[in-house]
Amino acid sequence: MTPSLIPHDEINKLLQEPLNIDDRKQVLGFTIDSETSKDLDDALWIEPNQSGVVISVHIADVTALVPRNSQLEQQAFSRVETRYLATGNNPMFPRQLSEDKLSLLEDKPRWTITIRITLDEAANIKKTQLLSTHLNSIKRFSYISADKTLHDPSKPLFQVLRYCELWAQKLAWKRQKRGAFGQSTIAGVTLDEEGRLIETPLYHSQQIIQEFMVLANTAVASLAEEHRLPILYRNHTASAIAPENQLLMETLTTLGLPELVRQKLQSWLNPATYSPAVIGHFALSVGAYTHFTSPIRRFADYINHRILKRVFIEEKESPYKVEELQAIAKHINDKKQEVKEKRNEHFREQRLAKTVTILNKQETIPTLSDKEFSQVLKESIKFSKLDKLVPEAQQRLENCTLKPSDLYYLVFGEYENPDNRTLIKEQLLNYLKEQPILATQILQIAATVGQTTVDYVDKKTSSGKFAFWTVFEEKTTSQPSIANSKQTAKHQSNLHWLQGKLEDKLHEVTEIDQTALDDQIKEETTFLAPASVISEEPLDLSMVPSEAINNPIAYLHTVLQRSKLKNPVYLYNKIDDQWRCCCQVQWSDEMLIETEALGQNKKEGKTQASLKAIIELENHFIN
């Protein structure tokens, strides 16, 4: 299909044509969209019952107004979808239609296709119906106004929106339980239905729309698959190196940082595509998925409307052969990829030009926002040295405003002047020593960027401590990092690796020195003070609850759990005929409290050390 000029005759005819609603069932519904949206594709209604709920999603019946093979259809085919730009949008259908005659405006009669979905109490789909309907939207909610109604029982539609919110939560829980990570927020990072990072929704009503649209698209795809009907399915697959959904979610939760999540998902996920063949949707963890809810904005939805209306409402054969659908799917996929590449290239050129301008005008660097400075660092590392950014990086290190990704660029970037490298090295190391966990995050980013892994050689010393060597880029440190906590030893090991990187003092893995594992016996003996050094003065129990005195160990565990702190770590050593117990309480990876006590046996030492820890908590932290 080749688009012609804007078809004014067709547009005017549609604008003037009255809607005959007599032969269509009238339905109730309201819309929720952004404050500025004018092309309203979908409306909602909900009917709870004793066995579950019926959710109705009313979609603008675009294909009833736009003739097949018309110039309007050809133009929509050439554009594939509405493109949203910073300054506005470039609609798939002309604005006179997309923002008026086709849009589900409040209190305006509109032809619709209704997807009526019956769910049981566990949110399982029991029945899906497609109906030819007409709608007079009873309310045009923005996300802001919908949220206000959700919190004000005096508002009209309050109860209806509360039911919608309840079932949206049920649907989200059900999806996540089956391993879906698309359309979810994981460890503070929000993903769209295909696992791409997006802004975290600001409003509860956004979740309602997202969940009901995913439900409608899933229900329609399942109905089509059940009848072996070729439509434009939306397929999403993973690369060969991607883990299973549940493990993938656990990994993303562990990563936490948006930069790491984005890089990991890019390496794990393939782009979603349209096809008349059913492959499944990896991110949503469903066997069949499609796009049906936005025929004003997406051509794939428009085509699916033509097929599903003909088959399930008119009870006739599909208007498209499989070969035609394959050609349409290929055109849409190719066009979307072309637009994506052009957009990426445009933004790349913009970022590059901006970075060059900033580097040539160094006086502008201190005025950059945190986000802008991060972007300049990221772009500079690709084509330039970092020397011009060192003074501002030092200032931001001092102010603690740099993100882990910024630290990664400073560690792995190049410097023309050795003095600049030395300056940033010293300040970086001092900064990381205060927060060793950042060293781990920096190496995770480096591994993700390089599509590799950070490995470890881990052993235990003769005295039971944890010893770690970090192995990255086939290099490691000669000496291990040793600590009582495995996590602490790991963070310290990563810090020492970064120090070796900055100082060019890394070694081959075959050169690691294991003699330190035996040396720890002497160090441990030095650390363990003789009995006379441990304070055995009477304890001040005036501030300690009686239940703590009666059972210090259990009480300490309870207090720490209530305070959301880790359980205490107990270390033992025998000194002469007594047992020395060291009780350690950590917050994050830092030592919060460390107490010592002697006992005739391990339990007695543990009890006394716990009691001392409780006194510390009561005196310095809890009160």
C-alpha closest to that of 414 among 389, 394, 451, 442: 389
Q: Are 387 and 420 in contact (CB under 8 A)?
A: yes
On the question of pLDDT at 524 being above 50, the answer is no
On the question of pLDDT at 199 being above 70, the answer is yes
Say what the pLDDT of residue 324 is.
97
DSSP string computed for 461-523: -TTS-EEEEEEBTTBB-SSPEEESSHHHHHHHHHHHHHHHHHHT--B-GGG---HHHHHHHHH
Instruction: Tell whether 484 and 590 lie within a shared domain.
Output: no
On the question of pLDDT at 64 being above 90, the answer is yes
Say what the pLDDT of residue 188 is.
75
Instruction: Tell whether 487 and 551 lie within a shared domain.
Output: no
Residue bearing the bigger pLDDT, 7 or 574: 574
Q: Round to whole Å and give the CA distance between 162 and 164.
A: 5
Residue bearing the bigger pLDDT, 422 or 29: 29
Percent of the chain residues topping a pLDDT of 70: 93
585 lies in some domain: yes
Average pLDDT (191-208) is 90
On the question of pLDDT at 525 being above 60, the answer is no
pLDDT tens-digit map of 430-459: 889 888 889 998 998 888 888 788 899 888
Question: Residue 185: which pLDDT band, with cuts at 50, 70 and 90?
Answer: confident
Which of 301, 320, 339 is the last residue in one of the domains?
Answer: 320
On the question of pLDDT at 138 being above 60, the answer is yes
* 3-class state of residue 352 by DSSP: helix
Tokens in use for 356? 């060059």
C-alpha closest to that of 429 among 512, 492, 506: 492
Question: Residue 351: which pLDDT band, with cuts at 50, 70 and 90?
Answer: confident
On the question of pLDDT at 500 being above 60, the answer is yes
Residue bearing the bigger pLDDT, 258 or 622: 258
Average pLDDT (118-134) is 96
Instruction: Tell whether 413 and 486 lie within a shared domain.
Output: yes
Say what the pLDDT of residue 534 is.
58
C-alpha closest to that of 19 among 51, 61, 58, 69: 61
569 lies in some domain: yes
334 lies in some domain: no
On the question of pLDDT at 16 being above 80, the answer is no
**Burial tier of 568 (Cβ tally within 10 Å: 0-12, 13-18, 19+):** buried
Residue bearing the bigger pLDDT, 565 or 308: 308
Q: Are 139 and 146 in contact (CB under 8 A)?
A: no
Instruction: Tell whether 485 and 442 lie within a shared domain.
Output: yes
Average pLDDT (265-270) is 88
pLDDT tens-digit map of 75-125: 999 999 999 876 778 999 999 999 999 999 999 999 999 999 999 999 999
Instruction: Tell whether 261 and 222 lie within a shared domain.
Output: yes
Counted domains in the chain: 3
Dihedrals phi, psi of 91, to nearest 5 degrees: -70, 150
Instruction: Tell whether 402 and 279 lie within a shared domain.
Output: no
On the question of pLDDT at 530 being above 50, the answer is no
Say what the pLDDT of residue 587 is.
72
534 lies in some domain: no
pLDDT tens-digit map of 380-421: 888 888 989 999 999 999 888 898 889 999 999 899 998 888
> Mean pLDDT lowest for which of 264-273, 467-476, 551-560?
551-560
DSSP string computed for 54-74: EEEEEEE-GGGTS-TT-HHHH
On the question of pLDDT at 352 being above 70, the answer is yes
380 lies in some domain: no
Say what the pLDDT of residue 518 is.
66
Tokens in use for 94? 């002309």
Instruction: Tell whether 495 and 606 lie within a shared domain.
Output: no
Domain that holds residue 594: 546-622
DSSP string computed for 12-43: HHHHHSPP--TTSEEE--BEEE-TT-----EE
Cα 476 → chain centroid = 32
Say what the pLDDT of residue 4 is.
46
Percent of the chain residues topping a pLDDT of 90: 49
72 lies in some domain: yes
Say what the pLDDT of residue 17 is.
74
Buried b (16+ CB within 10 A) or exposed e, 487-523: bbbbbbbbbbbbbbbbeeebeeeeebeeebbeebeee
pTM over 0.85: no
362 lies in some domain: no
Which of 266, 285, 320 is the last residue in one of the domains?
Answer: 320
Average pLDDT (248-256) is 74
Q: Domain with 565 in it: what CATH number?
A: 3.30.160.20
On the question of pLDDT at 528 being above 70, the answer is no
**Burial tier of 525 (Cβ tally within 10 Å: 0-12, 13-18, 19+):** exposed
Instruction: Tell whether 560 and 428 lie within a shared domain.
Output: no
| Ramachandran sector of residue 451 (left: φ over 0; alpha: ψ -120 to 50; beta: rest) | left
Question: Residue 519: which pLDDT band, with cuts at 50, 70 and 90?
Answer: very low
Say what the pLDDT of residue 623 is.
42
Instruction: Tell whether 513 and 551 lie within a shared domain.
Output: no
159 lies in some domain: yes
Q: Round to whole Å and give the CA distance between 598 and 358.
A: 63
Looking up tokens 């049906």, which residue turns up? 292
Say what the pLDDT of residue 536 is.
57
Say what the pLDDT of residue 6 is.
61
Question: Residue 594: which pLDDT band, with cuts at 50, 70 and 90?
Answer: confident
Instruction: Tell whether 296 and 423 lie within a shared domain.
Output: no
Say what the pLDDT of residue 483 is.
87
On the question of pLDDT at 622 being above 50, the answer is no
Instruction: Tell whether 477 and 565 lie within a shared domain.
Output: no
pLDDT tens-digit map of 531-547: 444 555 677 777 777 77
- Mean of pLDDT over the chain: 87
Instruction: Tell whether 310 and 390 lie within a shared domain.
Output: no
Say what the pLDDT of residue 55 is.
98
Which of 320, 346, 369 is the last residue in one of the domains?
Answer: 320
Identify the H or E element spanning 592.
Answer: strand 590-599
